[in-house]
C-alpha cells in the first residue's frame, strides 16, 4: 500500500528536509505541500491523501484549526501533528481537534516513519513525552483541569489582552470572558490574572514566553 502524504509547514527548509527523508521510503508518496493551514485544508479536499503531517504554528489558519477542518471533511485523511511545541495547551487542542498522532520534530526518523504508517492505519501515535503529559492531565484533579476554551482565554490574557480584546479575538462576550476567568482562578487557586498566568506557566499549561535579543 502506498501512503500518500501532504506536508504542512510554513518553513520551506523543514518541508524540503521532510520531503527528502520521506521520499526514501518506497511506500510513501509526497503528493502536496502547504505553507499555511488554509492551503493544507484545500490540498486535502483536492488530493485526499492518507496522512497530513501538520505543523501547529502556521499563518492563515493554524494547525489546530486546519486539523479540525480536515477531520470534519469528506476525506478519510489522518492528521499527524509534527511540531516543536509540547505544552499541555498545544497537545490538548490538537487532540481535541481530532489529530490521530502528535510527534515532536526531534523524533528519530524511524519513529516518524512508523508513526506515519500507524496513522494511516488509524492508530493513535503519541511521542513518549506527549503521552506522559496527557496521562498527567487526565490524572489531575478535576478542579485543576482547564477546558480548551479556558486555555484559549488564558493564552490571550498572557499576551496582554484585555477582557474586551479577548472577547473580540474569540468572538464571545466580555461577560463570558469574565466567567471563564473566574473559573480559571478557581481551578488554579489564584485571585487575579497575573497569578493565573504565572501558575499556568509553572504547570506547563502555557508556552514559556520567548526571550528577546
| Percent of the chain at pLDDT exceeding 90 | 52
pLDDT category at 142 given cuts 50, 70, 90 is: very low
User: Mean pLDDT over residues 76-82, rounded?
Assistant: 92
**Cβ pair 85, 57 in contact under 8 A:** yes
Question: Where do you find CATH 1.10.10.10 in the chain?
Answer: 142-202
Q: How many helices (H) and strands (E) does the chain have?
A: 10, 6
Distance separating alpha carbons of residues 70 and 38, to the nearest angstrom: 10
**Number of residues that make up the chain:** 213
Question: Where do you find CATH 3.40.50.2300 in the chain?
Answer: 3-137
Residue 164 pLDDT greater than 70, yes or no: yes
Residue 146 pLDDT greater than 70, yes or no: yes
CATH code of the domain made up of 3-137? 3.40.50.2300
- CATH of the domain spanning 142-202, picked from 2.60.40.10, 1.10.10.10, 1.10.150.530, 3.20.20.150: 1.10.10.10
Instruction: Provide the mean pLDDT of the chain.
Output: 86
Report the predicted TM-score, pTM, of the whole model to 2 decimal places. Answer: 0.64
User: Mean pLDDT over residues 75-104, rounded?
Assistant: 84
User: Mean pLDDT over residues 193-210, rounded?
Assistant: 82
For 47-59, the pLDDT digits (tens) are 999 999 999 889 8
Distance separating alpha carbons of residues 94 and 100, to the nearest angstrom: 9
Q: How does DSSP assign 68-135, residue by residue? A: HHHHHSSS--EEEEEES---HHHHHHHHHHT-SEEEETTS-HHHHHHHHHHHHTT--EE-HHHHHHHH
User: Mean pLDDT over residues 133-157, rounded?
Assistant: 73
Which pLDDT score, from 0 to 100, does residue 83 have? 87
For 95-131, the pLDDT digits (tens) are 888 888 888 888 899 999 999 999 999 888 887 767 6
Amino acid at each position: 500500500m502506498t501512503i500518500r502524504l501532504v506536508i504542512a509547514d510554513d518553513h520551506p527548509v523543514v518541508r524540503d528536509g521532510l520531503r527528502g527523508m520521506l521520499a526514501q521510503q518506497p511506500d510513501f508518496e509526497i503528493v502536496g505541500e502547504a505553507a499555511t493551514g488554509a492551503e493544507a485544508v484545500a490540498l486535502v479536499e483536492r488530493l485526499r491523501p492518507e496522512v497530513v503531517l501538520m505543523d501547529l504554528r502556521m499563518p492563515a489558519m493554524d494547525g489546530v484549526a486546519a486539523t479540525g477542518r480536515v477531520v470534519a471533511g469528506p476525506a478519510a485523511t489522518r492528521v499527524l501533528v509534527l511540531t516543536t511545541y509540547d505544552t499541555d495547551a498545544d497537545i490538548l487542542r490538537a487532540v481535541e481537534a481530532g489529530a490521530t498522532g502528535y510527534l515532536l520534530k526531534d523524533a528519530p526518523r524511524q519513529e516518524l516513519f512508523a508513526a506515519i504508517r500507524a496513522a494511516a492505519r488509524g492508530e493513535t501515535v503519541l511521542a513518549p513525552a506527549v503521552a506522559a503529559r496527557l496521562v498527567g492531565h487526565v490524572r489531575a484533579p478535576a478542579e485543576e483541569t482547564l477546558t480548551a476554551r479556558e486555555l484559549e482565554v488564558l493564552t490571550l490574557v498572557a499576551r496582554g489582552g484585555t477582557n474586551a480584546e479577548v472577547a473580540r479575538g474569540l468572538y464571545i462576550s466580555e461577560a463570558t470572558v469574565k466567567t471563564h476567568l473566574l473559573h480559571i482562578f478557581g481551578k488554579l487557586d489564584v485571585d487575579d490574572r497575573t497569578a493565573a498566568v504565572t501558575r499556568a506557566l509553572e504547570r506547563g499549561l502555557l508556552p514559556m514566553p520567548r526571550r528577546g535579543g
